[in-house]
Structure 1
């Protein structure tokens, strides 16, 4: 049985430091921004944005801001019932892991929800939190089983992803993305899906819908205006896309507001 001890969000803490200690619990870390320096059983480890760390119980560990620059990260502390065989290799083996998640945004949103639930007072929150922790562990386990992506593939995929992040409101075609890396459209789509788990066009729609959610809650723009702003010139098509990725219409989302769980956008 997994027992959650606490969840922390370190938000650019000046002079952040943890003293050397032998851990009496397991730790999972997701670095959001900046870099963190750890000493793990005598070995120096530098973790940066997108890194997922598992630090097992009984590890000798200390940590600090790298070169004095603050960082942003989520940290989960938990224990496992002694002698329990979880069936999760990295948990049962009790070994340190540093891993770059392909689906970083989804893990980020799950940590955000976990952090919010742990600080809430709603009924059944501990059951919900345990489910999120189990999901995060499952995500890491599944990604560890994938064949390692070669550096050149990761480089090409990141080029395409960066372009999408910068231009997602504009009309985008696969042929256009393929020209960025001088490869065929089919290769570009397959490569992006291998690295990130979904196609470039799906990722573009995810980015648009996330921005739509933000505008629906925090602007006075109309639904039709948001549709146009995000590159959907047919409002009915925008409604269909929004419902596909959020499981509700824009109007329903406005009604539910910030209580909506949008983690499915990156599932």
Structure 2
């Protein structure tokens, strides 16, 4: 049923990227450390530590390091007969899927073994590799079924909120308004966004603001007070507290010894 094309381990590769193309195979991207960014049919998808991303055949996909940082991930390329049911929900739906593993250690161990067998020249390699891969698929299917899985609806809600924040992060943000965008309660939105993105919508807004503040401190003549007001912080002392909380130093200190390449490391 399954045919493995390749198995790779990307180990903190500087400037890693893949070109935009309609892929002729299925991809399992299993992130061990850091973050990776994909463009999936025109939509951004971020994979973080312990995330699994399934990218089906014929998807228009490109990929790259997130915000200049590096990452570690296993990438498994494979094909299977699309007319057959595999019993694996995220495969049978044949749509992009993302979920976070709760028990990642054993899965990484099987990925290591699969990589070792794929690159070795021992007898019965193809049979053993297929067995390991099918075991791995079963383990991932079990992980995706656990409570708190990142279902398509949760991912859709989170992306809707994220897009709004990206477009309006300099404006006042209220969780109640974000909730109306997806037709859910404020508490649900906060919990959902933290589950998908790892932090609350308000913290994400602050991150976007401080990332831009870092850029403005190094590339403009704006004062700290000017930047504070420009980014929607009408109390400069509050802006400075948020900046130091996220960046680990004051805006003035960052302006003196900061580096644009270091910005993503703060978050």
Q: 1:155 offset after TM fit, Å?
A: 1.2
SS in 2 for 1:94: helix
Matched, 1:50 2:55: no
Per-residue Cα deviation, 1:184-227 (whole angstroms, up to 9, x for no partner): 21121111112212111111011100110011111111111111
Matched, 1:89 2:106: yes
Per-residue Cα deviation, 1:124-180 (whole angstroms, up to 9, x for no partner): xxxxxxxxxxxxxxxxxxx98984222212211111111111100001111111111
Q: 1:28 offset after TM fit, Å?
A: 8.9
SS in 1 for 2:259: helix
Question: TM-score, normalised to structure 2's length?
Answer: 0.54
SS in 1 for 2:13: strand
Paired residue for 1:7? Answer: 13
CA 1:93 to 1:259, structure 2 compared with 1: closer, same or farther past 3 Å?
Answer: same
SS in 1 for 2:258: helix
Contact kept, 8 Å, 2:214 with 2:260, in 1: the verdict is no
Q: How many Å separate the matches in 2 of 1:260 and 1:240?
A: 22
SS in 2 for 1:73: strand
CA 1:146 to 1:209, structure 2 compared with 1: closer, same or farther past 3 Å?
Answer: farther
Structure 2: unaligned runs, 5 residues or longer: 1-9, 24-31, 51-57, 74-103, 115-142
Contact kept, 8 Å, 1:253 with 1:260, in 2: the verdict is no
Q: How many Å separate the matches in 1 of 2:246 and 2:17?
A: 29
Matched, 1:238 2:234: no
Matched, 1:32 2:37: yes
Structure 1: unaligned runs, 5 residues or longer: 18-26, 37-47, 55-65, 79-86, 98-142
